[in-house]
Amino acid sequence: MRQVYLDYSATTPVKQEVVDAMLPYFTELYGNPSSLYSIAAESKEALAGARKQVAELIGAEEKEIFFTSCGTEADNWAVMGAADALRKKGNHIITTKIEHHAMLHSCEFLEKRGYDVTYLDVDSEGRVNPADLEAAITDKTILISIMFVNNEVGTVEPIKELAAIAKAHKILFHTDAVQALGNVPIDVKELGIDLMSMSAHKIYGPKGIGALYIRKGVKISNYLHGGAQENKKRAGTENLAGIVGFGKAAELARTNLTEHIKHTSSLRDYLIQQVQENIDNVYVNGSMEHRHPGNANLTFEFIEGEAMLLYLDMNGIAVSTGSACSSASLTPSHVLSALGIPVERIHGTLRFTVGDMTTKEDIDYVVSTLKNVVNKLREISSVSSEKGW
């Protein structure tokens, strides 16, 4: 059976160059970077090299990169650390209704501890109106956190404009860039970002390693306590092999960015075109002008996304009904709900994300199979409706 993976926003395969870079740090160069002997010095050098590679991908300085276990930890650290450090200044945080649950649940945690959180609405494409952000700011606002690229519909937010508003009011600006990294150009200095979350496994690197960019001069409280790792900011023995893999993946993402965007956006557009030409009553969710190059979030009327997903899986095709972090839940997507999409359409939605390994032949196979699946499920749905089941 042909196998086609179209869920690159959930995770990506680790590229062979990344695996090759990592392998020596499991068996040969295994020294703890905090130790003083020579094998540890080699590990420390590798750690510094990877930090530089990640920094170069986003236009940051090496000392502004702090490695974490994942993007979720980076999000938690950013919001918790800022809230704690700035508590004497205020207790108001602004975010959006379409954030990843790592951010939403962190804000809910803080609300239970006396913080006020404003959740901004978005338009029908998932974009934040800068005027809404301006209007939400109070003299107690200490942090604004708005994701760079949405993980479900792929909408790219106007980060530079939003960050400028935060800067004008002398408020810290954080962005969750887990889906943006390696998919859109990022220059944290030009964009005016103070804090930014990242993850390796979205850019063909290993799972279990992420990073938080903290602009020089920004002070937030530590999230993990213990040793003096990460310039005394994030305790815990470094995941050296993972960090080296993140560094190599970041290097590849930087050098291949233009080609990656060209390849994935071309296949994404081809997928959407072919689906709409071959299947009736299909809607594209999110913005086409401001969009993740590989994301196609599509709603198929009159059928359930879970049923489509299972039938596609039986034909060797891997897609998602939404974020991999919440796809086990039957609750309608909070992102699609925020876009104003009716519940019945939300349940008929699939997220397709193409990547570097995707081919045109893969798309042709997926569309052909999807057409048969949709027709079959709609026929079943029609019969069920007629019989009152």
Annotated binding site: 71-72, 151, 179, 199-201, 237, 325
Query: In angstroms, rounded to a whole number, what is the distance separating the alpha carbons of residues 194 and 217?
Result: 9
Q: How big is the chain, counted in residues? A: 389
Catalytic residue among 137, 164, 324, 325: 325
* C-alpha–C-alpha distance, residues 177 and 197, integer Å: 5
> Among candidates 247, 258, 285, 294, which has minimal Cα distance to 10?
294
The whole-angstrom separation of Cα 325 and Cα 320 is: 11
Binding site residues for pyridoxal 5'-phosphate, as ranges? Answer: 71-72, 151, 179, 199-201, 237
Contacts for 206 with CB less than 8 Å, ≥ 6 apart: 14, 18, 22, 200, 241, 242, 245, 246, 249
User: CA 202 to CA 200: how far, in whole Å?
Assistant: 5
Q: Are 209 and 200 spatial neighbours (Cβ–Cβ below 8 Å)?
A: yes
Indicate if 70 belongs to the active site. Answer: no
Tokens standing for 102?
Answer: 């790592």
Q: Could you tell me which residues are annotated as the binding site for [2Fe-2S] cluster? A: 325
Q: Is 355 helix (H, G, I), strand (E, B) or coil?
A: coil
Helix axes 305-314, 360-387, angle to 10 degrees: 130
Q: What count of other Cβ atoms lies within 10 Å of the Cβ of residue 223?
A: 20
Diameter of the chain measured on Cα atoms: 76
User: What letter would DSSP give residue 341?
Assistant: -
Give φ, ψ of 12 to 5 degrees: -125, 155
Helix ranges restricted to H, the chain:
16-22, 24-27, 38-58, 71-85, 101-111, 130-136, 159-168, 188-191, 229-232, 240-278, 305-314, 334-338, 343-346, 360-387
Helix (H) or strand (E) run with residue 285 in it: strand 282-285
3-state helix, strand, coil in the chain (%, to 5): 45, 15, 40
Residues marked as catalytic: 325
